[in-house]
Structure 1
Amino acid sequence: MNKAIAQLEPRSVWTNFSKLNAVPRPSKKEERVIAFMMDFGSTLGFETLKDEVGNVIIRKPASPGFENRKMITLQSHLDMVHQKNSDTEFNFDTQGIQMRLEGDWVKANGTTLGADNGMGVATIMALLESKDIAHPPLEALFTIDEETGMTGAFGLKGGILKGEILLNLDTEEDDEIDIGCAGGVDVTAKRSYNEKSSVHGDIGFEIKVSGLKGGHSGMDIHKGFGNANKIMNRLLFAGLSYNMRIAALEGGSLRNAIPRESHAVININKSQKISFLAAFDKVVSEIKAELRFVEKELKVSIEPRKTSKKVMGLGAQGKLLKGIYAAHNGVYKMSTSIPGLVETSNNVAKVKVGNGEIHIGCLTRSSVETGKMDLAQALKATFELAGFEVNFSGSYPGWNPNPNSEILKITKKVYTDLFSVEPRVVACHAGLECGILGQNYPEMDMVSFGPTIHGAHSPDERVSVSSVQKFWKFLLEILKEIPSK
């Protein structure tokens, strides 16, 4: 445990965050953190149960004088995005997160921090183990696999939860109260290709794109950050005029993270080396100029390597590069009902080429269900024209805003009274579990809020210490204001 971080205030929150981050918990591999949370609840002597998909529920009776208040369901997810810098040696399956304190920010050493959504989990843990905090009956819901499919929320059956109000602690700006979010769908394109033998006289090169900011493919999609897959595709497309042949290509790793790095292995005819490298440098300069204000650390390298024996056929290669070039990436449409909200977007998240197989993975988001599927169909048409088979999977609904929510009125008043300014009431372009949970619990009143977290889903992820203090103060006051049954 990092002692400096564990001693930050509120100490109970940071101590629990440190304990949580010592437990490996990448998405779809939550067995250890589920056991950790079950042991935590049982040790406190509270009703603790695990549902059939692995969600953990812990219930704590009300503090004296609050027995007749409505039960609150506090909800956060146990899993975390596992991203690291290419030069960082780290195994998310076996190692705990290595944290450090820099001024007002807690960060990790070359990996994601897990503040998304570990700060929410740690905050709920602090409330459960507290002995001197006034609160109504509490029901803690710790869901699994939020980051790669929301299967925990989908798998939670109706009738299990007892709370009347749900506080989701999974947003990333401490002056916001969220009342809506986007839905999403995975768009996956696959095809095979025939490998060809390299041509006599070819020489090999290795291309790397790195140093991009990456980030959350929902919350950061409007910021104009570079997408490593689209940048690499642009570089390779320029090589078509020089008989360039792709041997292997891989970029991005997670559907919900803007890809930060891409790597390609190519052959080029030795006679065209000089003209190819000149054209390559020209495109690199153009890209860097376009992104100079948002991607100051962008690096593009090309180095000689051993000539690859097998490469893509020209037909499949051309369709691959044209398909990715045509595939929309970034903001597709802004909301006409909520100013400043991204309505629909797409992230070209993963590209992998090798051994005769191509795999392209996208995550399409929208706060409008028909808009989500409209863009998904546009991507499907694009890739089918390039000879791919396209499938939709992992579709999840958005969360429709309720501006007349009782808990919204309470949280707005508490925030304004505490901080002498009104909070921003927003809908976000990320995927929150509220929309899914609301399908089986339609009468449950919901809002979402959290501390300030920057760079989520990237190794630049960091959480503000002062913001956590503000968030904690806000939450404790909300609990005092929960109405009677």
Structure 2
Amino acid sequence: MEVKELAPKALWVNFAGLNAIPRASKKETRVIRFMVDFGHSLGLETIQDSIGNVVIKKPATAGMEDRQTVILQSHLDMVHQKNSDSNFDFDTQGIDMHIDGDWVRAKGTTLGADNGIGVATIMGILAASDIPHPAIEALFTIDEETGMTGAKQLDPTNLSGSILLNLDTEEDHELTIGCAGGIDTNTIYNYKQQAVAADDLAFELSIKGLLGGHSGMDIHKGRANANKLMNRLLHDALQVLPLQVAAIDGGSLRNAIPRESKAVVVLDKADEQSFKSFLAQFQNTIQAEYRSIEPGLKINAVPSELPSHVVAPEELKKMIYAIYTLPNGVFRMSPDIANLVEASSNLARVIVKGGDFITQSLQRSSVESSKTDVANAVASAFELMGCNVSRSGDYPGWKPNADSDILRLMTELYRTTFNEEPHVNACHAGLECGILGAHLPGMDMISFGPTIHGAHSPDECVKISSVQKFWTYLLKVLSQIPVKS
């Protein structure tokens, strides 16, 4: 069976069509055109604002004209990440999907269920003629994954709804009423180099097989960060060997826990055996520490072409110590909401190449003051070594409203539909609701969605039965939207 033949077909057909289009953040031209053409094909009012967000408006079905207008919102872009052994070209190829039991997965890449399932759901409702609903304003934002540019530069005059349903939550029993804000901390440092002796040896070190994942939703799970592990490896090696480093390339995306890191190291021929012995011992140590969390962890070293230059020893020491000092992972748990991460940091990218030492990290918090605190902690580690530190992509969190009308309605509908209580929570991921709420004051908002695992990694998958549950629930919610006050 193909993915587009799954039920509900109205959703999966659209998801297959969407996933045929490359749609990386900041490269959304094709998917924007796809959505505009989709709206026009239905004969619906379709608006593209100046930044690229698309709004498609559909009138209420007969008998529901007096209900409140609902904004259904999802983002068009997806995280493009693949395994290192994959030859997949995100710029030209559509996602290669397959069914695995009760899950839909991609072959060696991210699936795009985040947030493609939300987009496809809204498309299915817009195209349907047999679904009762109030007036709908479908809002498709751009660039959510790399800065929430679409939400930040939204033209609010295109929207009049009073309820916003964000379809970007990843556990089907959760109703999310708050989220973390975030800020990127970026650094650069120009380091001194020195020439390599012609009779030295070079090896490419690699750390692979980590789970990675979403740097918000998965940050509390204790997963290894490939950048921090590589730094620890180099630090420990320098305690026993006169190791030199020519290059480092670790991580990929700003909002993903790094799965892989590579480094080119140089050593004297006389130290080759000692280096291999150290590496074997280090791997045993790390694998023992992470045995229950990172079963796929692998550390390898293969001979490499000898580079012409390496990082000067005093510069390398500063880099390694700065990264070692860096806070990474959970910074503070919320004292007010049980089991909620309040503040965290993720060292997403480390590059050492040709005289430039570059890092990228993302700090998140549901409290603005602690977001600043963790960002300052990260910046301080790099400023001490002389890095130029800059910040970008600052966006606010979404303060929970436990007295929300839409929350009361959706809680009761979940309880009666599934004979269980929903999990009402705030999450540590960065949802667009905080930014959208600033544009649309007084908006009653909630976020929910089907079960998606491994978002932002090639392990991403969406549960088929959960999508069916989500679809059923959303249609009930739309049918029960209250009348205008």
Q: TM-score range by the shorter chain?
A: over 0.9
Match of 1:341, as an amino acid? Answer: L
> Which amino acid in 2 is paired with 1:163?
G
* Counterpart Cα distance in 2 of 1:36 and 1:250: 35
- Residue 274 of structure 1 and its aligned partner are, at CA, apart by 2.1
Aligned to 2:233: 235
Q: CA deviation at 1:276?
A: 2.5
Distance in 2, Cα, partners of 1:411 & 1:389: 48
Q: State the secondary structure of the residue aligned to 1:159.
A: helix
Deviation at 1:98, TM superposition (A): 0.5
TM-score, scaled relative to structure 1: 0.99
Which deviations, in whole Å up to 9, do the C-alpha atoms of 1:339-380 show, x marking residues without a partner? 000111110000011110011000000001100110100111
Query: In the alignment, what sits opposite 1:286?
Result: 285
Residues 373-404 of structure 1 show CA distances to partners (whole Å, capped at 9, x for unaligned) of 10100111111112211111111000000000
Indicate conservation of the 8 Å contact 1:75/1:140, yes or no. yes
Match of residue 167 from structure 1? 165
Show the counterpart of 1:326.
Answer: 325
SS in 2 for 1:246: strand
Cα deviation for residue 307 of structure 1 reads: 2.1
Corresponding residue number in structure 1 for 2:482: 483
Q: 1:158: which partner in 2?
A: 156
1:98 maps to 96
Within 5 Å, give how 1:87-126 maps onto structure 2: 87-126=85-124
Residue equivalent to 1:404: 403
Aligned residue runs from structure 1 range 56-455, under 5 A: 56-241=54-239, 242-455=241-454
Quote the Cα distance in structure 2 between the aligned partners of 1:341 and 1:286: 31
Measure, in 2, the Cα distance between the counterparts of 1:347 and 1:167: 28
Give yes or no for contact 1:252–1:259 (8 Å, CA) kept in 2: yes
Residue 30 of structure 1 pairs with residue 28 of structure 2: yes
**5+ residue gaps in structure 1?**
none
Structure 2's unaligned 5+ residue stretches are: none
Deviates more, 1:376-385 or 1:109-118: 376-385
1:11 partnered with 2:9? yes
CA contact (8 A) 1:153 1:436 kept: yes
Matched to 2:113, the amino acid is A
* Cα offset, 1:159, TM superposition: 2.4
Q: In the TM superposition, what is the alpha-carbon distance from 1:173 to its structure 2 partner?
A: 0.1
Cα distance in 2 between the residues matched to 1:461 and 1:137: 33
| Partner Cα distance (2:209, 2:278) in 1 | 22
Moved more, 409-418 or 190-199: 190-199
Q: For residue 178 of structure 1, report the CA deviation from its aligned partner.
A: 0.1
Counterpart Cα distance in 2 of 1:257 and 1:300: 20
Q: 1:200: Cα distance to partner?
A: 4.7
2:196 partner amino acid: S
d(CA) in 1 for partners of 2:200 and 2:468?
Answer: 60
- The Cα of 1:189 is off from its aligned counterpart by 1.3
Question: 2:55 touches 2:158 (CA, 8 Å); kept in 1?
Answer: no
Quick one: which amino acid aligns to residue 417 of structure 2?
L
1:332 maps to amino acid = F
Q: Deviations over 1:182-215 (max 9, x none)?
A: 0000011110112210135421111011011110
For residues 388 and 35 of structure 1, the distance between their equivalents in structure 2, rounded to whole angstroms, comes to: 41
**RMSD value, Cα:** 0.9
- Inter-partner Cα distance in structure 2 for 1:80 and 1:5: 18
Deviations 1:124-147 (A, max 9, x none): 000000000000000000000000
Q: What one-letter code is carried by the residue in structure 2 that aligns with 1:399?
A: W
Q: Find the aligned partners of 2:41 and 2:303 in 1 and give their Cα distance.
A: 59
- Separation in 1 of the partners of 2:105 and 2:156? 38
CA contact (8 A) 2:191 2:355 kept: yes
TM-superposed deviation, 1:66: 0.2
- SS of alignment partner, residue 457 of structure 1: coil
User: Number of matched residues?
Assistant: 483
Decide which of 51, 61, 71 is 1:53's aligned counterpart. 51
Which position in structure 2 is the counterpart of 1:472?
471
Alpha-carbon distance in structure 2 between the residues aligned to 1:339 and 1:197: 54
Report deviation, 1:306: 2.6
Q: What secondary structure sits across from 1:447 in the alignment?
A: strand
Aligned-pair CA distance for 1:301: 0.2
Q: What residue is the counterpart of 1:462 in the other structure?
A: 461
Asked whether the equivalents of residues 238 and 280 of structure 1 are also in contact (C-alpha less than 8 Å), the reply is no
Separation (CA, whole Å) in 2 of partners of 1:281 and 1:393: 40
Q: TM-score, normalised by structure 2?
A: 0.99
Deviation by residue 1:152-199 (Cα, 9 ceiling, x = unmatched): 000003322111100000000000000000000001111011221013
Distance 1:200 1:14 in 2: 59
Q: Do the aligned residues in 1 keep the contact of 2:171 with 2:452 (CA within 8 Å)?
A: yes
Q: Following the alignment from structure 1 to structure 2, what is the Cα–Cα distance between the partners of residues 307 and 213?
A: 31
SS in 1 for 2:158: coil
Q: Within 2, Cα distance between the matches of 1:41 and 1:265?
A: 51
Identity of aligned residues (%): 55
The one-character-per-residue Cα deviations of 1:228-272 (angstroms, maximum 9, x if unpaired) are: 101111111122231111111101110100010111101011222
| Native 8 Å contact 1:184 1:395 kept in 2 | yes
Counterpart-to-counterpart distance in 2, 1:21 and 1:306: 39
Counterpart of 2:342, as a letter, is E
* 1:412 partner SS: helix
Provide the rounded CA distance (Å) in 2 between the counterparts of 1:187 and 1:284: 30
Does the CA contact (< 8 Å) of 1:144 and 1:151 recur in 2?
Answer: yes
Is contact 2:341–2:428 with CA below 8 Å preserved after alignment? Answer: yes
Alignment partners' CA distance in 2, 1:423 and 1:50? 35
The residue type paired with residue 27 of structure 2 is K
Which piece of structure 1 moves more, 267-276 or 420-429? 267-276
Cα distance in 2 for partners of 1:92, 1:305 equals: 28
Match of 2:145, SS state, is: coil
User: Any idea what SS the aligned residue of 1:196 has?
Assistant: strand
Deviation at 1:275, TM superposition (A): 2.0
Distance in structure 2 (CA, Å) of the matches to 1:9 and 1:119: 13
